Amino acid sequence: MPEIRIPTILRKYTRDEKKVQADGGTVREVLADLDRRYPGISGQLLNDDGSLHRFVNVYLNDEDIRFLGALDAPVAAGDVLAILPAVAGGCATRTPGIRPGRWRPGGGGAAGAPAG
């Protein structure tokens, strides 16, 4: 039976468990069984047509399922599925005087400046 690693944001569905198990021979079947065991979780992962939400990534043994056959990728006993919400955000414009990627104490606009 594969192990499924659940991100913090979805643990409300798994009673705060970060690792759960579900049966199935494909990723699709495992996710269907996961939803049977933890009702409502598939609504956070899948679109109405059964496809994976755009901002959800699923890895099978550290490989993105999109390169393994997507939801039809085969799953075996002992495999690990990791569900990861995509991370997005940031700013498309550059603030003058700020170096990209530099940590700014206090979250301000300039190094050391208080947030305003």
Task: Give 82-109 pLDDT, tens digit per residue.
Answer: 999 887 665 555 545 545 554 444 554 4
Tell me what pLDDT residue 89 has.
60
Question: Which class is domain 3-85?
Answer: alpha beta
Going from the C-alpha of 83 to that of each of 7, 11, 42, 95, 97, the distances in angstroms are: 6, 11, 11, 34, 38
Tell me what pLDDT residue 113 has.
47
Instruction: Report the phi/psi class of residue 36: left, alpha or beta, with left for phi > 0 and alpha for psi in -120 to 50.
Output: alpha
For 42-66, how does the pLDDT look when each residue is reduced to its tens digit (9 = 90+)? 999 999 999 999 899 999 999 999 9
Tell me what pLDDT residue 30 has.
97
pLDDT at 34 over 80: yes
Write the single-letter amino acid at 75: V
Please, what sign has the CA dihedral across residues 6, 84, 71, 73? negative
Tell me the whole-structure pTM to 2 decimals.
0.73
For 72-83, how does the pLDDT look when each residue is reduced to its tens digit (9 = 90+)? 999 999 999 999
Tell me what pLDDT residue 87 has.
74
Strands 80-85 and 3-5: parallel
Annotated domain spans of the chain: 3-85
For 1-33, how does the pLDDT look when each residue is reduced to its tens digit (9 = 90+)? 899 999 999 999 999 999 999 999 999 999 999
